[in-house]
Amino acid sequence: MNALAARRRHPAAIAILLMLGLLVTGFAYAAVAPQPAQAESSTAQDVTAGKQLFLANCASCHGVNAEGRVTGNGDKIAGPALAGVGAAAVDFQMGTGRMPLREPGIQAERGDVQFSQKEIDQVAAYIASLAPGPAVPSEEDVDPTKGDPGAGGELFRVNCAMCHNAAGAGGALTRGKYAPSLMGVEPKHIFEAMDTGPQSMPVFNDNNIEPKDKRDIIAFLTAIDEAPQQGGHALGSLGPVTEGWFAWFFGLGLLVAAAVWLGQKSA
């Protein structure tokens, strides 16, 4: 201590102290600061393999460096820039078969998955290496058994039900677009969709709906998906449209048939 005290007037002391202070602050910040989400356990090989897959399957629309491409037809884009969309967006789009896009249209539709999960992970690693973005959620993040379906239901009805229907059956948007059904969707894809806001869907980032709350929503959707339907035909759970159609078609049909029978001459 004496040695230190003796050198406190050394010309370099201020500089060393300043350096020490900066280092401590920097490390402390790094320790407590929110981590930008990054795909875990991705190696350099994954990124390289992902880039190869990207060039072969995605670059025609998204550009060779994922910078996005315009079509030349007004300001319509062939594919948006992908820097910063994160691994979650790739895992969602490719994992639900929406990408690679089968045909241009008003909306990319769910379809057969074209790639193995390993290949999807590689492309995700490549895209995540371009710029930080939402990561693929962990198993625990999306485990429906750990969520609270009641709390999730409340969040779902405020944030999701107006587009996806109170029963998660989906619904129409403007000009041919639609919110898809959420029944039978993998929990991690639900999480990723909230995190990244694919297509028309707004973003529900982790500051808006916390990861714990997202898991509650997943638990709610799993619960209503698995709930037994013992009250008759659900008619797609689409509410007044299908129910009204059924009543008009079958109810009126029966009444018309009865009227015809009543009005028929008996001889």
Partner 1 sequence: MNEQDSHPTGSSEVTPTGEFGSGAVRLDQGHVVGDGGIPERFQNPGFAPHIHRGADIDHAAAKRAERTVGGLFLLSILGTLGFIVAYFAIDPEATIFVPGIGQNKALHIALGVTMALSLLGIGFGAVQWAKTLMPDEEEVEMRHTMRSGPEARADFVSILDDGAESSHLKRRPLLKYTLGGALGLFAVPVVLPVLGGLGPMPGDDLSVSYWNGPKEEDGTYANTPLRLMRDPQNTPIKASDVTIGSVFHVMPDGLLDLEEHLLEAKAKAAVLLMRLDPDIITSQKEKDWGYEGIVAYSKICTHVGCPVGLYEQQTHHLLCPCHQSTFDVTQDCKVIFGPAKRPLPQLPITVDDEGYLISKGPFKEAVGPSFWERGSV
Q: Is 229 in the site for partner 1 (CB under 8 A)?
A: yes
CA distances to 4, 14, 52, 126, 185 from 130, rounded to whole Å, are: 47, 40, 14, 7, 28
Q: Determine how many CB atoms are found less than 10 A away from the CB of residue 210.
A: 12
Strand pairing of 178-179 and 69-70? Answer: unpaired
Give dist(CA 148, CA 162) in Å, integer.
21
Do 224 and 217 meet the contact criterion of CB atoms below 8 Å apart?
no
Stretch that binds partner 1, among 63-71, 108-116, 219-227, 230-238 (CB under 8 A): 230-238
- Sign for the CA dihedral angle at 253, 258, 261, 264 comes to negative
Q: Taking CB under 8 A as the rule, which mask of x and - marks residues 118-157 in contact with partner 1?
A: ------------------------------------xx--
Member of 61, 163, 183, 223 binding partner 1 (CB under 8 A): 163
**Taking CA 114 as the corner, what is the angle to CA 110 and CA 120, rounded to the nearest 5 degrees?**
100
Q: Taking CB under 8 A as the rule, which mask of x and - marks residues 178-217 in contact with partner 1?
A: -x-----------------x-xxxxxxx-xx----x----
Member of 173, 183, 223, 238 binding partner 1 (CB under 8 A): 173
According to CB under 8 A, which residues from 28 to 87 bind partner 1?
none
Tokens of 37: 């989400």
Residues at the contact surface with partner 1, assessed by CB under 8 A: 154-155, 158-159, 162-163, 171, 173-174, 177, 179, 197, 199-205, 207-208, 213, 228-233, 261-262, 264, 266-267
